[in-house]
Amino acid sequence: MFLSITATHRPATDLGFLLRKNPARMHETELSFGRALTLYPEASDERCTAALVLEVDPVGLVRGKGDAGGPMDQYVNDRPYTP
């Protein structure tokens, strides 16, 4: 999943203060269902873009945290959706 937010007010880098992330570096967080990355592809006083990239691990969702079966074993599989 990819989500981006752009601010164009001056100073646009205040977006980093609102999101509590430093625009000068990438932030990575391990979650129970995958990994989240927060980065700023563009950060200037005129324009600042924050991007959230979420990598979901479908196999990890099915396996759970040591539980037999996992919390979503009936709803998630490791195959991509095809119409």
Is residue 69 one of the residues assigned to a domain?
no
CB 62 within 8 A of CB 16: no
Q: From first to last of the 83 residues of the chain, give the pLDDT tens digit.
A: 899 999 998 898 888 888 888 888 888 999 888 899 999 998 888 999 999 999 988 777 766 655 555 555 556 556 666 55
Number of domains in the chain: 1
Is residue 72 one of the residues assigned to a domain?
no
Q: What is the span of the domain harbouring residue 42?
A: 2-63
d(CA 68, CA 39): 36
- Write down the pLDDT at residue 72: 54
CA-closest candidate to residue 5, choices 49, 45, 37: 49
Is residue 82 one of the residues assigned to a domain?
no
d(CA 14, CA 7): 9
Is residue 80 one of the residues assigned to a domain?
no
Is residue 29 one of the residues assigned to a domain?
yes
Is residue 19 one of the residues assigned to a domain?
yes
Is residue 74 one of the residues assigned to a domain?
no
Is residue 68 one of the residues assigned to a domain?
no
